[in-house]
């Protein structure tokens, strides 16, 4: 059976994944969420004309004459009244403008003697005034639908007096590990056991990309135990199993899942690492059968699960990945029959040129190279051998 190309596999996944419904949340809980509808301002900002500097509010026509200071305006406590000819009001940054004044001269450009001031320089009408609505007005769209909310958007919405927003729900993702050899972190390990590093990794990846992981634990390599664990797959938006998707005698999860309702869309992708990936629907829930080797699981997440999670949350980015190019610091052999994602490190020199080198140990079971990489170097199928200085494609992590 021929292997499915990576773009074709991704297209099948994204065509089958649906965007989740929306919910209303507090602005204080909005970080990392995706807006489900346009959000408009509830007020004009600034709501009043205000001083942009510490100085004096004056009438520009009086600027050549000594002026009498008749009061002050500060943030939260404005001057009451109106200035007339030959008058000025001490004003501070952010304070409301004074009725009758049309200019603010900064304090450094003024000499003061008692209640009298003389303007020395800075003579331009309308100077140092923030106009009402100079940033935005009530009813203006502040954040468009399908925007990922960060700190800057939160600040803008707060300024617009928007206390709650409508966002897409977080995807709940059930995670099941399989394998008699697996032990939880912190266990006492015997020679034939290994620590389950995949679940903590996937839980972190899901969380940092807006999802809510649900750990179903570890299933032993028995039909009974796998059945017991998958019976817990309820009220979730995605289901992921790790391990057991190859062709070994104890790789049983596909058969058990099929008996329980799994419909497989594809199995095996033309990629390295990550070839044994399974995708389908488990009783209408999108299902990913991940390889058990950590680097394979990570590469599968980046290429397939991440775009699916983003679509579920309403993100409408044409490309979910940050691709770039860098120059090779060493030679590379010709590529093979699968698209290769090599763990690598890139850096920029003083001219802004990117250079990249791969880790020597590219084994899919090795976590150290993965943890110490900041990119994946992508080798296309049957890529020609590359020389030092050649441009290659990288996926920033």
pLDDT at residue 366 tops 70: yes
pLDDT at residue 235 tops 80: yes
Number of independent structural domains in the chain: 4
* CATH number of 91's domain: 2.170.190.11
* Model pLDDT, residue 179: 87
The verdict on residue 76 lying in a domain is yes
* Model pLDDT, residue 191: 85
The verdict on residue 245 lying in a domain is yes
For residue range 157-184, list pLDDT tens digits in order.
Answer: 999 999 999 999 999 999 999 988 988 8
The verdict on residue 54 lying in a domain is yes
Distance CA 181, CA 240 (A): 19
* Model pLDDT, residue 250: 44
Residues 124, 30 within the same domain: no
pLDDT at residue 362 tops 50: yes
Residues 147, 221 within the same domain: no
The verdict on residue 1 lying in a domain is no
Residues 354, 388 within the same domain: yes
* Model pLDDT, residue 1: 56
Once rounded to an integer, what is the mean pLDDT over residues 273-290?
96
Once rounded to an integer, what is the mean pLDDT over residues 103-132?
92
Q: Which domain holds residue 77?
A: 50-130
Once rounded to an integer, what is the mean pLDDT over residues 241-252?
70
Count of alpha carbons within 13 angstroms of residue 392, beta-carbon side: 36
For residue range 66-99, list pLDDT tens digits in order.
Answer: 999 999 999 889 999 999 999 999 999 999 999 9
Average pLDDT, the chain: 94
Residues 147, 254 within the same domain: no
pLDDT at residue 249 tops 50: no
* Model pLDDT, residue 285: 98
Percent of the chain at pLDDT exceeding 90: 87
Both structure tokens of 369: 């190279």
Instruction: Give the model's confidence band at 344: pLDDT under 50 very low, under 70 low, under 90 confident, else very high.
Output: very high
Q: Which residue has the tokens 């290429």?
A: 303
Residues 181, 80 within the same domain: no
pLDDT at residue 375 tops 50: yes
Instruction: Give the model's confidence band at 121: pLDDT under 50 very low, under 70 low, under 90 confident, else very high.
Output: confident
């Amino acid at each position: 059976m021929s292997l499915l190309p990576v773009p074709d596999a991704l297209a099948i996944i994204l065509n089958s994944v649906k965007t989740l419904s929306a919910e209303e949340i507090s602005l204080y809980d909005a970080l990392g969420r995706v807006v489900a509808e346009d959000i408009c301002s509830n007020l004009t900002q600034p709501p009043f004309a205000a001083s942009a500097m510490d100085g004096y509010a004056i009438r520009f026509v009086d600027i050549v004459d000594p002026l009498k200071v008749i009061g002050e305006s500060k943030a939260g406590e404005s001057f009451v009244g109106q200035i007339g000819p030959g008058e000025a009001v001490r004003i501070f940054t952010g304070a409301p403008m004074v009725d009758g004044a049309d200019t603010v001269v900064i304090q450094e450009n003024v000499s003061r003697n008692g209640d009298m001031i003389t303007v020395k320089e800075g003579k331009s009408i309308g100077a140092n005034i923030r106009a009402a609505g100079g940033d935005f007005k009530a009813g203006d769209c502040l954040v468009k639908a399908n925007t990922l909310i960060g700190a800057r958007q939160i600040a803008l919405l707060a300024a617009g007096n928007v206390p709650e927003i409508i966002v897409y729900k977080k995807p709940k993702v059930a995670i099941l590990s399989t394998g008699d050899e697996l032990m939880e972190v912190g266990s006492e390990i015997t020679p034939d056991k290994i620590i389950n590093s995949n679940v903590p990794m996937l839980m972190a990846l899901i969380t940092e990309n807006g999802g809510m992981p649900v750990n179903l634990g570890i299933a032993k390599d028995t039909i009974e135990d796998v059945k017991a664990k998958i019976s817990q797959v309820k009220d979730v938006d995605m289901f992921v199993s790790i391990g057991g998707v190859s062709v070994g005698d104890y790789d049983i999860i596909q058969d058990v899942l099929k008996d329980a309702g799994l419909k497989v869309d594809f199995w095996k992708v033309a990629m390295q690492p990550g070839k044994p990936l399974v995708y389908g629907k488990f009783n209408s829930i999108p299902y990913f059968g991940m390889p058990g080797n950590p680097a394979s699981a990570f590469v599968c997440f980046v290429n397939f699960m991440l775009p699916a999670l983003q679509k579920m949350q309403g993100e409408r980015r044409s490309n979910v990945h940050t691709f770039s190019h860098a120059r090779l610091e060493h030679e590379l052999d010709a590529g093979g029959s699968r698209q290769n994602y090599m763990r690598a490190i890139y850096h920029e020199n003083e001219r802004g040129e990117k250079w990249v080198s791969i880790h020597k140990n590219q084994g899919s079971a090795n976590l150290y190279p993965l943890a110490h990489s900041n990119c994946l170097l992508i080798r296309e199928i049957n890529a020609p051998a590359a020389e030092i200085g050649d441009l290659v494609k990288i996926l920033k992590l």
